[in-house]
Structure 1
Amino acid sequence: MDILTEIVANKRKEVASSKELYPVKLLEQSTYFEGQPVSLKKYLQRPDKSGIIAEIKRKSPSRGFINKHVSVERTSIGYMQAGASGLSVLTDNKYFGGTYEDLKVARSFNFCPILRKDFMIDEYQVIEAKSLGADVILLIAAVLDKKEIEKLGSLAQSLGMEVLLEVHDEEELNRSITDKVDLIGVNNRNLKTFETNIQTSIDLVDKIPSDFIKVTESGLSQPETVVKLRKYGFEGFLIGEAFMKTGRPEKAAKEFIKQLI
């Protein structure tokens, strides 16, 4: 079993358990549920922002712990003060060390777009994302077919949220494009080898229709890489590990973003 298959199998069990513990009616009573989501699309296009979607990620399946004891409050506030266009918060616990509380903390201290980064496979998780204060959800083409993407994306949009569709290659892109997503992200990481190559983004950028905001993810460890990919037409740059592997991720983000201006 490859890691993605394993993660999705585990996620199905988690979702089944959550449905029993926290019914949808309970999620809808959250203080965040009636809130108006903030548009990541608009923030990525703001001239006073960097286009960086700064991520809070404690660990990954390939690297293990990256920053086990990160302060979500300090880091999220620092990311936004540094000029990030939005936040990405991992909420998967078993494989990425994230928690739902991480997203709630980030939400309570920041008025900005927040992406809930998780493996979304069920409509319940979309409602859950809204109840946690997320503005954007991630849908991964590698684990969903087009009908599932349309179903989950449609629900998210009906709740006022935006949808970031993640693809790894042209086949995933072609079979997944739908108006039920708002942004398309190219993940430069090969899910089988875990190697990253920004050529993946360069090869796919012109194949993404112009009515979608284009985001590039993984392997963006140098400011010059962002500058290069910007010239190809990318407006969003999701960066986690490059910041998180340092003692103070928010300071690393500040230095990184300074070099983009």
Structure 2
Amino acid sequence: MSTATSTTGGADTAAVRQAIATTARPPRPGPLSTALTFGWRGMLKVKHVPEQLLDVTVTPVMFLLMFTYLFGGAIAGSTSAYLDYTLPGLLVMSVLFTTVYSGVSLNTDLTKGVVDRFRSLPIWRPAPLLGSLLGDSVRYVIAGTVIITVGVALGYRPDAGVGGAVASLALVVVFSFGLSWVFSVLGLLLRSPNAVMNAGFMGIFPLTFLSNVFVDPETLPGPLQAFVDVNPISILATACRSLMDGTPDGEAIVVALVVAAVLAAVFLPITTRLYRSR
């Protein structure tokens, strides 16, 4: 019986070797298809663990309701007037907060050894990084869509209509994609996902609150107003307000896009180099 088993095993091995020898090797996947595959991996993670979407659905709604109904009357005199002012800013804030999880996700893969498996694959090296951030961009769209939808349900009406809201969301997603490379660097430098999350929010919270997201800078002290005016988050919020109001601020839009491009240009190579060396 053992002889028969050995003979069968040898025949199977020979058949496999013959198939390998006579079959052409499949072409190596290109950079774009590989990156999109890893982006789809991020979507599958959400599919199997839908709780990951809580931070892009529940949190934005909580911020919108809290700031509108707790502070709207005191700051703007009425909740409806404050909603008109703050919703574009809350759109910016909600989506930018989500970018921190790009670093957390990358650090999780790194600490669990998943990155080591990716390095062993015959693929374009930056594909897992780029694909992961492309997948995260879908989360940005979801977060922005939720905040706009809830705002409309509460009575917000963008003067530019659907087109203005879509343009504003697109600008925020592009800016967030550039910013996510910063948190990817943190994800590769720090030792645990919790450390990445804490460091990320410690950096983005002050920048968000020291902006024009919640209050008009003219009401602030001089030195603080000067900082708020040059804060990239303030400029992004101004660009979003202008797009939703139907009066696009070309300068603010260009500055926001340039900042996003600079962030990506600076931190993408750093992320790639750290990814190869870790």
Is the pair's TM-score, using the shorter chain for normalization, greater than 0.5? no
Using CA pairs under 8 Å that are at least 6 residues apart, name the structure with larger relative contact order, 1 or 2: 2
TM-score band w.r.t. shorter chain: under 0.3
Higher helix share: 2
Give TM-score scaled by structure 2 length: 0.24
Using structure 1 for the length normalisation, give the TM-score: 0.25
Q: Which has the larger Rg?
A: 2
